[in-house]
Amino acid sequence: MIGILVQLLLSGLLLWWIEKQSLSVLGWQPSQKRLFQFVAGFFLTMILATTYHLIHAILTGTDWQKNPAFQFSDLFNGLWWMLRSVVYEELIFRGALFYIALRKLGVTKALWLSVIAFGIYHWFSFGAWGQPIQMIFIFLITAAAGWMYSHAFIKTGSLYSVIGLHFGWNSVGSLVFSQGSIGKYILIPVKDPLFQQNEWASFLFMFLYQFLVPAFITWLWLRKYDGEKYFKKEKS
């Protein structure tokens, strides 16, 4: 939590120094519309992530059973940890630096800069540095997610929608299906020893789904919101 407070302080200073703006340009103040965007984003990616994990389980012959060590109180601790990690990442990649880049470089250049940085960041957060194949795969799927999150910020002019989307996807993967780096939570996987796994089919599905979800959600945000007017490149 201290890290997020430091981020907010530095973000405020940067925005005031470079843009003569306050944190309000990040759409930080709550409103009925922004809270709706957060909830809609959360449940949308939660449904899509659940669908992904269930179909992937069928393709890989994986059953799920309740984690006997899981306590209901663990869910609140996990959700709080996940929310803080999502806010921390979003303040880095869709916060003050992104806003400044949008204003100075224009939407297209700032968007690609954020997407590439988000993909490279996950090489290190996933511990993939030095493994070329894994690095390429991680870059592609996380850059696609970064594309979705960046578009959500550009189109709504607020971090609420972005955090909702990111929070919903990560929570399902890490807290429901125990696929993250924070340990086992609600469900744990059990492989069927008699199932002949089609590795190529499961890999292809995983790869395509990780692109289709950002494409679908970006399309939804593109057709519903038009926030680019807030980030028009300044005239020199």
Sequence-separated (6 or more) residues with CB below 8 Å from residue 115: 143, 146, 147, 150
Q: What is the pLDDT of residues 97-156, one digit of tens each?
A: 999 999 999 889 999 999 999 999 999 988 888 889 889 989 999 999 999 999 999 988
**136 occurs within a structural domain:** yes
Q: Length of the chain, please? A: 236
- pTM, two decimal places: 0.88
Q: What is the pLDDT of residues 13-50, one digit of tens each?
A: 999 999 889 999 998 888 999 999 999 999 999 999 99
Distance from C-alpha of 85 to C-alpha of 193, rounded to nearest angstrom: 36
**216 occurs within a structural domain:** yes
211: helix, strand or coil:
helix
Distance from C-alpha of 209 to C-alpha of 112, rounded to nearest angstrom: 21
**28 occurs within a structural domain:** yes
**164 occurs within a structural domain:** yes
The answer to whether 153 and 94 are in contact (CB under 8 A) is yes
Q: Answer whether residue 236 shows pLDDT above 50.
A: no
- How many domains, in total, are found in the chain? 1
99: its two tokens: 């806003």
**175 occurs within a structural domain:** yes
Q: What is the pLDDT of residues 53-102, one digit of tens each?
A: 988 888 888 888 898 888 888 888 989 999 999 999 999 999 999 999 99
- Residues of the domain holding 52: 2-231
**236 occurs within a structural domain:** no
At 185, the pLDDT band (50, 70, 90 cuts) reads: confident
**152 occurs within a structural domain:** yes
